[in-house]
Amino acid sequence: MNKVEIICQNCKQDTLLKREPIYDGFNKIGTKFVCASCGFIFKNEESISFKISKNKKSIFNNEDYIKQKKIFDEDENNQLCRYCSFYLINPFTQYCSIHKKEVEATDTCDKFEKSSAKKNDIL
């Protein structure tokens, strides 16, 4: 691999790195790291800002956001205690008449039975 994607620290370009051999006479004595855009010579490989691969950049894409929305919009949202026919509410407590215990309006359970009367909050 002779060329690598970099962000040049000198010209700030999204560019490529050129590796050029340094010769002393006929002997290769090292490698020169040069910006393909501006010709800036980097001191060493460690000082170069290599570009992070595009695949690693975003763990969460648009699809993930859509999935999360769907879960929230599903029927589960309608199976809350507050919409259930067993849910009783008075100024002191919210009560489930089937489990005989206090519940929260946002609770949910498998005994849910949709109440036709409880479309609005009863205060």
* 22 touching Zn ion, by CB under 5 A: no
Q: Which is nearer to Zn ion, 6 or 96 (CB)?
A: 6
Which C-beta is closer to Zn ion: that of 35 or that of 84?
A: 35
Q: Which residue has the tokens 């010709």?
A: 39
- In the complex, the smallest distance separating the C-beta of residue 34 from Zn ion, rounded to whole angstroms, is 9
The answer to whether 88 and 98 have CB atoms below 8 angstroms apart is no
Nearer to Zn ion, 39 or 105 (CB): 39
Q: Which two tokens stand for residue 115?
A: 């109440």
Task: Determine, following the binding rule CB under 5 A, whether residue 105 of this chain makes contact with Zn ion.
Answer: no
Amino acid (one-letter) located at 59 = I
Q: From the CB of residue 87, how many other CB atoms can be counted at a distance below 10 Å?
A: 23
Are 55 and 11 in contact by the 8 Å Cβ rule? The answer is no
Is 40 a binding residue for Zn ion by CB under 5 A? The answer is yes
- Number of residues located near Zn ion, criterion CB under 5 A: 7
Residue pair 95/84 in contact by the 8 Å Cβ criterion: no
CB closer to Zn ion out of 48 and 109 = 48
Query: Given the rule CB under 5 A, which residues bind Zn ion?
Result: 8, 10-11, 35, 37-38, 40
